[in-house]
């Protein structure tokens, strides 16, 4: 009975500890925050006996340079070799930095500080970005062991909203031009064209692109341009 009670106690202890560690094991940061575009740079903490991995794979970029202002307490490692200007030997695809805490070292002319700045330079094609992390040192149990840097969805959402707004505005112009064209064409000789334009507008309002709707209705782009011109003249 004692042995069974001890086993149950150990299991209960594991159940109490494990979920809290797993739930807080990874942080997620947006690339705009890590670049300081939100007005502040993120702070990360490294605990004794537990390193910290910074994962940039969510940005679609590769790390080409990284440095610590105070290297006396940390070592830097990477998932693949940094290239610099040489993209041979499997380098050029670095996406993860691993920071490992060590016993403090003494460097001449470099003061040891309570926190340090990690600067990371990434590349995506011809574009370069710079990320900043204020690194601190914790004590006790680690609260997280990795940080994922991901693309900020807000610019993408804003771009999508702008595109949707532009599409709605164009649909309204074409519809207005269609009303003007029907009023001028009393003979109804273009009735079939007007009908196909109505079908096109219904397709676009349903989420189809203008190009796909043009192909579906067999209309020439010039038809829409003429209707938009009529709408502008009538304003």
What digits encode the pLDDT tens for the residues 204-213?
988 888 989 9
Say yes or no: 41 and 141 in one domain. Answer: yes
Q: Which of 151, 179, 197 is the last residue of a domain?
A: 151
pTM of the shown model: 0.57
The β-bridge partners of 175 are none
**4 lies in some domain:** no
pLDDT block averages, 10 residues each, the chain of length 235: 44 36 71 86 90 94 93 92 61 88 84 89 90 93 92 69 84 91 77 91 90 90 91 81
Say yes or no: 160 and 137 in one domain. Answer: no
Say yes or no: 191 and 211 in one domain. Answer: yes
Distance between CA atoms of 127 and 115, rounded to whole angstroms? Answer: 30
Say yes or no: 124 and 91 in one domain. Answer: yes
SS3 label, residue 140 = coil
Say yes or no: 78 and 38 in one domain. Answer: yes
The encoded tokens of residue 111 equal 């003061």
- Contact (Cβ atoms closer than 8 angstroms) between residue 102 and residue 63: no
Say yes or no: 32 and 146 in one domain. Answer: yes
Say yes or no: 142 and 51 in one domain. Answer: yes
Close Cβ partners of 87 (under 8 Å, ≥ 6 residues apart): none
What is the span of the domain harbouring residue 84?
Answer: 26-151
pLDDT in tens, 174-200: 999 999 888 887 666 788 899 999 999
């Amino acid at each position: 009975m004692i042995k069974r009670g001890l086993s149950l106690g150990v299991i209960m202890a594991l159940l109490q500890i494990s979920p809290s560690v797993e739930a807080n094991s990874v942080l997620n940061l947006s690339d705009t925050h890590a670049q300081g575009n939100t007005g502040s740079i993120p702070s990360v903490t490294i605990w004794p006996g537990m390193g910290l991995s910074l994962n940039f794979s969510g940005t679609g970029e590769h790390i080409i340079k990284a440095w610590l202002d105070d290297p006396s307490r940390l070592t830097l490692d990477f998932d693949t070799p940094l290239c610099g200007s040489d993209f041979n030997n499997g380098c050029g695809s670095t996406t993860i930095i691993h920071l490992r805490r060590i016993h403090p070292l003494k460097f001449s002319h470099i003061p040891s500080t309570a926190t340090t700045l990690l600067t990371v330079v990434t590349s995506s094609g011809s574009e370069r970005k710079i990320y900043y992390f204020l690194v601190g040192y914790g004590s006790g149990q680690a609260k997280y062991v990795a940080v994922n840097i991901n693309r900020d969805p807000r610019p993408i959402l804003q771009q999508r909203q702008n595109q949707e707004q532009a599409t709605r505005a164009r649909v309204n112009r074409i519809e207005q031009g269609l009303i003007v064209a029907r009023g001028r064409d009393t003979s109804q000789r273009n009735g079939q064209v007007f009908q196909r334009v109505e079908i096109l507008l219904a397709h676009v309002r349903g989420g189809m692109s203008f190009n796909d709707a043009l192909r579906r209705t067999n209309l020439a782009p010039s038809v829409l341009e003429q209707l938009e011109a009529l709408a502008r003249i009538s304003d």
